[in-house]
A and B are shown apart, each in its own frame.
Chain A
């Protein structure tokens, strides 16, 4: 990460998403978050649950209201959707991390398979 990026990150970490000092620059103000009837903490749970199961009508209502008001929560939801997409892709894709059976493991497996195949012939 560049120095500029690091400075940006340090700066943003000082302000909460609902800072009273900068209600629009960094996200909705504290007032907005209070009016939404749902905290970001609770929203994060619903956003996760929504990926796997339907929300109840009340959950859906509070989720929609908070989402409209909170930029950080919208961003969080996009990111966990991306994470979920990455996970689902593993149904068919190969690992990027290079791991292989060791030669010793291959040899053990080969012997076990040949033993099994021989016992079928017997």
Chain B
């Protein structure tokens, strides 16, 4: 059992009320523990990338798998098992972000001069010429070293900033819903996204060797 057991979210993607009898059992050939072997690490990496905490990622994977076990008879097999499990996990992650955003109050949501002053002089002009990246943008996605550097840089971004960026770009969640989940205004959201991109770009410049020579 994970150290911090969490209550399940009230609405699961698959919990739609049981219509089965009390004698319903899971088919032995559809052993849920096989989901752990086949999909556990994938789900874990999916969650870890989004919540940046091993413990939280484990908890969320457990919640998702337990919800899947409970709701398996409602699985209509219109998608693969993995896609279905990821869908459940995604909802669990969003619920987690909604809960944790109420607690996290320390991050600056308004425009902070400190980040911007690092990049621009008093005239609002770049402090220096940004070096060019040697590859075309669409080629970068194929480069493992770039993606590895990107993942490392993303982990260093402050929590709320990273969550905003992740929800908006990874998950393509609508602006209004991102604001709702994180308890912020749309102005706050633009500030967080802008800050995240500035910081990520700067970090990649320092940690990735793919600059134009």
A binding-site residues for B, Cβ under 8 Å:
1-2, 4-5, 8-9, 12-18, 26-27, 30, 33, 39-42, 44-45, 48-49, 51-53, 72-73, 75-76, 78-91, 93-97, 99-101, 105-106, 108-114, 116-117, 120-121
Contacts and interface: CB of A to CB of B under 8 A. Distances in A.
Nearest to B195: A48
28 contacts: A5-B213, A13-B128, A15-B129, A16-B129, A40-B124, A40-B125, A41-B125, A42-B124, A44-B198, A72-B126, A76-B130, A79-B133, A80-B197, A83-B201, A85-B137, A85-B141, A87-B165, A87-B169, A88-B170, A95-B49, A99-B44, A101-B58, A109-B62, A113-B36, A113-B65, A114-B33, A117-B26, A120-B70
B66 A113 contact: yes
Interface stretch (B9-17, B91-99, B102-110, B145-153): B145-153
A2 B131 CA distance: 14
Contacts of B124: 39-42
A91 B171 CA distance: 6
A118 B70 CA distance: 11
Main SS at interface, chain B? helix
Interface of B: 1-2, 24-26, 32-33, 35-36, 40-42, 44-45, 48-49, 54, 58, 61-62, 65-66, 69-70, 116, 119-121, 123-133, 137-138, 140-141, 144, 146-148, 150-152, 154, 165-166, 168-172, 175, 190, 193-194, 197-198, 200-201, 204, 209, 211, 213
B130 A75 contact: yes
Contacts of B209: 1
Given A16-B125, A89-B141, A97 B2 contact: no
Given A40-B125, A72-B129, A83 B150 contact: yes
A105 B162 CA distance: 26
Contacts of B197: 48, 80, 83-84
